[in-house]
Structure 1
């Protein structure tokens, strides 16, 4: 297993301070504060409706916060657009993959490269796309239309497109969803390789063995708030987390939350 990273606050790539988002009377995210550090993989978990995807939307610029501040690489990005955040070093891969189906795999990644950094020229974008296809295991499919890919290949393409924007921090929203166990392990290996390339990662996930294997730290959300933060062992033995989400104290190293096994809750 890859060694976890020890980090300190002065290395923060992203810092959220008191982020809140309300939709009418619904407080979807309430006073959320945390940091993501250089070289770190941070997991965000919690039950359905906990506010995890809303949080990612606040970080990536889909929503603007009702209150709070967001800093990326030391810059205040609270009011920045999605495009400005992307250009500043924030990438995102979505749970539901929507590639340009009639374009080739290589062309899909090239588009990401052209969008990610102002002044990127087409020859440079094509070269970067080819390099990313090789590192994500898609080089053999470069000339195939994207609609012909399998689900796992689609997930790899989504990550490659996000990496083509040359992020310093990559946001991943349940990229393991729908994958078989062997495919999920391939995705785990891919995310580890992303970290080795110098990109920090924040990911939402409900498969606890994946969280255990990948995360340096875990943030647990419930009802729009941060309930706990710490290592996998620390949060999965926290009585508040056990009561609100896990349902029973899990064996470290195996299994999913009891509520997930019964189909009642997803992180």
Structure 2
């Protein structure tokens, strides 16, 4: 895939004491692309996402967002520069309404936004994510699927050009996961590039334009779903069977 690079990781590494959690990870993420990062448990995927979003600072390497060096930038700077993130474990403000939760995202992500503007943007995103009818409910009353939708709406409220998703399908039933897939496709259609971590291989197959595969902190393959699932190192990392990859 070619085009504008919206996110570029160049030799990103992260050590915790003697543990090398991420080692020399390099990839480009292109404008309009849905990019998946997969790998067995302990492969370093979440650590990588934490490096991209600014939770961790890298031990070495460089990160560019929309051509800007953000290697050592704090999370809020990356957010204001166009990077959003939805977390696997949703942590809303439980006593606030769904609408208020998303309004907070709009206020935080776009400095200078007035409260009326943030409220309007939040409601637009609740409509976009199928939660408009839940706007006045307390966040703690939502179902798991609704929680996931609210988390994505809150991340989108920050106005990202690139959205990071950390296993947003976790805990969803197959029908719910299919709804979430369509929601993510809609996010891309609205002009937001998506990078996601996922364990459910049929979701990766159906959603990703390209796939980056990690094992033991390193990238071992990248390409289309068909290309990476035929790669010998990838097959070995997933219990030695193509069936284990959902190929």
Q: Which runs of 4+ in 1 moved over 4 A?
A: none
Structure 1 residue 131 corresponds to structure 2 residue 124: yes
Q: Distance in 2 between matches of 1:194 and 1:232?
A: 21
| Cα offset, 1:144, TM superposition | 0.4
Structure 1 residue 60 corresponds to structure 2 residue 60: no
- The residue aligned with 2:240 is 247
- Of 152, 172, 180, 2:165 maps to 172
1:197-208 residue pairs with structure 2 within 5 A?
197-208=190-201
| Cα offset, 1:257, TM superposition | 3.4
Q: Distance in 1 between matches of 2:193 and 2:225?
A: 18
Q: Distance in 1 between matches of 2:209 and 2:237?
A: 22
1:41-52 residue pairs with structure 2 within 5 A?
41-52=34-45
Q: Distance in 2 between matches of 1:244 and 1:152?
A: 30
- Of 228, 233, 243, 2:226 maps to 233
- The residue aligned with 2:245 is 257
Determine if contact 1:42/1:217 at 8 Å carries over to the other structure: yes
- The residue aligned with 1:159 is 152
- The residue aligned with 2:15 is 22
Q: Distance in 2 between matches of 1:247 and 1:257?
A: 9
Determine if contact 1:247/1:257 at 8 Å carries over to the other structure: no
- The residue aligned with 2:207 is 214
- The residue aligned with 2:106 is 113
Q: Give TM-score, length-normalised by structure 1.
A: 0.91
Q: Distance in 1 between matches of 2:202 and 2:221?
A: 18
Number of aligned residues: 246
Q: Distance in 2 between matches of 1:223 and 1:239?
A: 16
Q: Distance in 1 between matches of 2:7 and 2:17?
A: 28
Encode CA deviations 1:9-46: one digit per residue, 9 max, x unaligned: x5100000000000000000000000110000000000
| Cα offset, 1:240, TM superposition | 1.1
- The residue aligned with 1:263 is none
Computed over aligned residues only, the root mean square deviation of the Cα atoms, in angstroms, reads 0.9
**Residues 234 and 246 of structure 1: is their aligned pair in 2 closer, same or farther, counting only changes over 3 Å?**
farther
Q: Distance in 1 between matches of 2:142 and 2:239?
A: 35
